Amino acid sequence: MLTMLLAMCLAGCGRQEDTQKAVDGQDGAKDLSGGPAEEKEIPFFWDIHTTQELIPGDFLVYHVDCAGTEADQLGLYQSSADQEYGADKATGKMWGYQPRDYMEAVADASGEGAMSSRWEIREGTEYDGEETGFYYDFELPSGEYEVTVGFYNPFSARTVCVDLEGSCEVDALKILKYKLTEAVATTRVTDGSLQVKVYNPDRGTDAMKDPVLSYITIRAVPVYDSVLLQQYLEQMEVPPEEAGIYTASTCQIYQEKRKEALKLAEGEGKPEEYRKACEELKEAYEELEEIKVYTTFQVGKRWTDDEGNLIQAHGGQVQKLPVRDKSTGEMVEKWWWVGEDKSAGYRGGIRAYSSDDLYNWHSEGIVMRNVDSREQLEKEAYFQELYGDYTEEQLDNVYASLSSQTAVIERPKMLYNEKTDMYVIWFHADGPTAYSDSNYAAASAGVAVSKNPNGPFRFIDRYRLNTCPEDQEDFYPQSKGMARDMNLFVDEDGTAYIIYSSEENLTLYISKLNEEYTYLATDPEKAVYGEDFIRLFPGAQREAPALFFRDGSYYLLTSGCTGWAPNQARYYRAESVLGDWVNCGDPCVGDDKRTTFDSQSTCVFLADEENGTYLYMGDRWNSEDLTNSRYIWLPVEFDEEGAMYLRYQEEWSLEALTP
């Protein structure tokens, strides 16, 4: 791309320069032959420069960061942020401020870039309304220039005037406290230099009305026409083979702007339309964002998929799944991540991603969609195909359970059932009921099935699950069989279990699933305690369960219940799923805040079979902006006794872990 741009710059363009002279109304030849001797020597800007050369820098000739020392942007004729009037060290051009005793350079940490410094009038200055101010001179070839003067005023509101070439171009401009205000004017330079004066003639004796000055920008004004737009199109071209390296969203904006620009370049437009098209195309081109390829886990950082979109799979689960390859039709193994799609905030459907290396993920789309209205459920083809044979009562249930306005769909987990060759998703299905408006009133477990792991998943039902046996203390007898934060686990013998918070999140349960994984193994009325289900740690108030098996031991990692706020993790061990679970405490090492490194567990899985590496998946919820919740993935360590440890690392890779 850079090579292409350089080639463009070197190519030059005679036609555009001719146009510039014609528009300027005083072509180079007239300048050189007509006036006094010294004027003759002043060249015309477009005789020296080409538009191609200046497009990349937006025709910027000077950008003075007043009283600044570090420039974030430099114009063509300068090599420093600001200077006292004199020859520029690199370009030899004469430019800078005319020093005055009353000028005070002030740095401002609250402003960025050119707003981080400014000139002020020193306290106690004897102010002369017409004279006191800031004076700059800039050597410039003859031509037309657009001058922008920026004011970032930390004081009470006041007014300022800007003179260009001795004539007042901006009069009594109000500059408000800590609001960046710009004055923009166009002027013609014919004598080889441009004078800029900033002052406040109305200051009187009130020092609270002293002018300030943050920056001055001078741009050569080109002729905005179809030829110039064509040059922009050439310089801002993305070769087809490079298009795939950019994120879909930025690429789309770029393509739209390019299409608009192409249309205008072929037709007829006004100069302001050409200018707008040139600027918008350049902006879209500069905003093109390259898709990131990951080779490490960057813990808690923005994580994007292979199209550059933020990964949306919160409260999720990762596993290795047999899936059919889209191009070959062969069954292949893929890493599969399902989770809550929170792109629209709190409510949303279930999304899946696939990967070959656990670092880079491809979105498989929304595998179970929300529904916007009862009508949509009955009319839209997508829902018709899934629910065309459902009764009215079943449709009511689908609507209540998947409504984009009221349903709460959290912590989805997926299993592949070999017997039925179906993929089954269980999720925390919640929302208001006929008796309560609370988002967490339904407190039930939802089930959906599909022939493909990328859906669409057909919602079957949502259920209340097992209840506290009569001979045990129920911590929430007023609402039986509740099921909220949940997870799934398949044992070595193929038996699947659902692990979930019940009894108003006070007690965890583990319940056996049927052979199809679509419901409990035994109906709650007939379920036998210890065989079909168990209650864990009654009253301990644990949620976010993540159950896994390693080296003869079952582990259950959990969090406390503090809404979206993180809290201290605790894990348990047992010799069988429905056996006795022993509290082993917090696995985190060096977690001074005792917040599981600011995360909440959602899954632990075997990420590297060869080296026996288990990976902790946690959510760092952002309660103010759930879309921007982050993922905390860490390697899990075990000692010789099988005790589990979590240590924080900002960035890590499976490859770099020592086995």
Smaller CB separation from ligand DGJ, 474 or 485? 485
Q: Give the full edge-to-edge strand order of the sheet including 486-490.
A: 486-490, 496-502, 507-512, 533-536
Smaller CB separation from ligand DGJ, 132 or 558? 558
341 binds ligand DGJ (CB under 6 A): no
17 binds ligand DGJ (CB under 6 A): no
- Cα 110 from Cα 290, distance rounded (Å): 31
Q: How crowded is residue 166: how many other Cβ atoms within 10 Å of its Cβ?
A: 7
Q: Which of 155, 254, 169 is nearest to 216 (CA)?
A: 169
- Cα 1 from Cα 89, distance rounded (Å): 31
Q: Which of 410, 474, 503, 532 touches ligand DGJ (CB under 6 A)?
A: 410
Any idea what the Cα angle at residue 63 is, between residues 20 and 170, rounded to 5°?
Answer: 75
Angle 226-235/14-24 helices, nearest 10 degrees?
140
Annotate each residue in 506-545 with x if it binds ligand DGJ (CB under 6 A) or - if it does not, as one string.
Answer: -------------------------------------xx-
Q: Are 614 and 548 in contact (CB under 8 A)?
A: yes
Annotate each residue in 283-322 with x if it binds ligand DGJ (CB under 6 A) or - if it does not, as one string.
Answer: --------------------------------x-------
Smaller CB separation from ligand DGJ, 203 or 413? 413
Rounded to the nearest whole angstrom, what is the least distance from the CB of residue 600 to ligand DGJ in the complex?
A: 6
Residue 73 is which amino acid? Answer: Q
Smaller CB separation from ligand DGJ, 211 or 560? 560
Whether residue 154 has a cis bond before it, omega within 30° of 0:
no
Smaller CB separation from ligand DGJ, 479 or 653? 479
Smaller CB separation from ligand DGJ, 345 or 563? 563
Q: Which of 69, 564, 582, 622 touches ligand DGJ (CB under 6 A)?
A: 564
Rounded to the nearest whole angstrom, what is the least distance from the CB of residue 629 to ligand DGJ in the complex?
A: 10
Rounded to the nearest whole angstrom, what is the least distance from the CB of residue 200 to ligand DGJ in the complex?
A: 55
- Rg over CA atoms, the chain: 34
* Strand 496-502 versus strand 651-652 pairing type: unpaired
Q: How crowded is residue 281: how many other Cβ atoms within 10 Å of its Cβ?
A: 24
Smaller CB separation from ligand DGJ, 229 or 544? 544
- Cα 409 from Cα 432, distance rounded (Å): 12
Rounded to the nearest whole angstrom, what is the least distance from the CB of residue 500 to ligand DGJ in the complex?
A: 11
Residue in this structure with the two tokens 């006036």, named with its chain if needed = 35
Q: How crowded is residue 376: how many other Cβ atoms within 10 Å of its Cβ?
A: 15
Q: Are 50 and 12 in contact (CB under 8 A)?
A: yes
Rounded to the nearest whole angstrom, what is the least distance from the CB of residue 375 to ligand DGJ in the complex?
A: 29
Rounded to the nearest whole angstrom, what is the least distance from the CB of residue 345 to ligand DGJ in the complex?
A: 13
Rounded to the nearest whole angstrom, what is the least distance from the CB of residue 569 to ligand DGJ in the complex?
A: 12
Q: Which of 506, 20, 508 is nearest to 497 (CA)?
A: 508
The number of angstroms, rounded, from the C-alpha of 622 to the middle of its chain's C-alpha atoms is 13
Smaller CB separation from ligand DGJ, 19 or 601? 601
Rounded to the nearest whole angstrom, what is the least distance from the CB of residue 88 to ligand DGJ in the complex?
A: 60
Rounded to the nearest whole angstrom, what is the least distance from the CB of residue 562 to ligand DGJ in the complex?
A: 8
Q: Are 402 and 369 in contact (CB under 8 A)?
A: yes
For ligand DGJ (CB under 6 A), the number of binding residues is 9
DSSP result, 354-421: EESSSSS-EEEEEEE--BS-HHHHHHSHHHHHHHTT--HHHHHHHHHHHBTTT-EEEEEEEEEETTTT
Smaller CB separation from ligand DGJ, 163 or 543? 543
Q: What are phi and psi of 243, to 5 degrees?
A: -55, -35
563 binds ligand DGJ (CB under 6 A): yes
Smaller CB separation from ligand DGJ, 67 or 465? 465
Rounded to the nearest whole angstrom, what is the least distance from the CB of residue 594 to ligand DGJ in the complex?
A: 17
Smaller CB separation from ligand DGJ, 82 or 485? 485
Smaller CB separation from ligand DGJ, 403 or 599? 599
Q: In whole angstroms, how far apart are CA 424 and each of 415, 457, 460, 544, 607?
A: 5, 8, 10, 20, 22
Q: Are 229 and 278 in contact (CB under 8 A)?
A: yes
Q: Are 182 and 148 in contact (CB under 8 A)?
A: yes
Rounded to the nearest whole angstrom, what is the least distance from the CB of residue 335 to ligand DGJ in the complex?
A: 22
Rounded to the nearest whole angstrom, what is the least distance from the CB of residue 349 to ligand DGJ in the complex?
A: 15
- Cα 330 from Cα 323, distance rounded (Å): 8
Residue nearest to ligand DGJ according to CB distances in the complex: 563
Q: Which of 505, 497, 509, 496 is nearest to 536 (CA)?
A: 509
Q: Which of 564, 543, 352, 340 is nearest to 446 (CA)?
A: 340
Smaller CB separation from ligand DGJ, 93 or 484? 484
Q: In whole angstroms, how far apart are CA 634 and each of 86, 306, 311, 315, 599?
A: 58, 22, 17, 15, 11
Rounded to the nearest whole angstrom, what is the least distance from the CB of residue 428 to ligand DGJ in the complex?
A: 7
Q: Which of 49, 158, 351, 411 touches ligand DGJ (CB under 6 A)?
A: 411
Annotate each residue in 543-562 with x if it binds ligand DGJ (CB under 6 A) or - if it does not, as one string.
Answer: xx------------------
Rounded to the nearest whole angstrom, what is the least distance from the CB of residue 314 to ligand DGJ in the complex?
A: 8
Here the tokens at position 507 are 């007690």
Annotate each residue in 482-511 with x if it binds ligand DGJ (CB under 6 A) or - if it does not, as one string.
Answer: ---x--------------------------
Enumerate residues 75-134 that contact ligand DGJ by CB under 6 A. Answer: none
Annotate each residue in 578-617 with x if it binds ligand DGJ (CB under 6 A) or - if it does not, as one string.
Answer: ----------------------x-----------------
Rounded to the nearest whole angstrom, what is the least distance from the CB of residue 136 to ligand DGJ in the complex?
A: 58
* Site residues (vs ligand DGJ, CB under 6 A): 315, 410-411, 485, 543-544, 563-564, 600
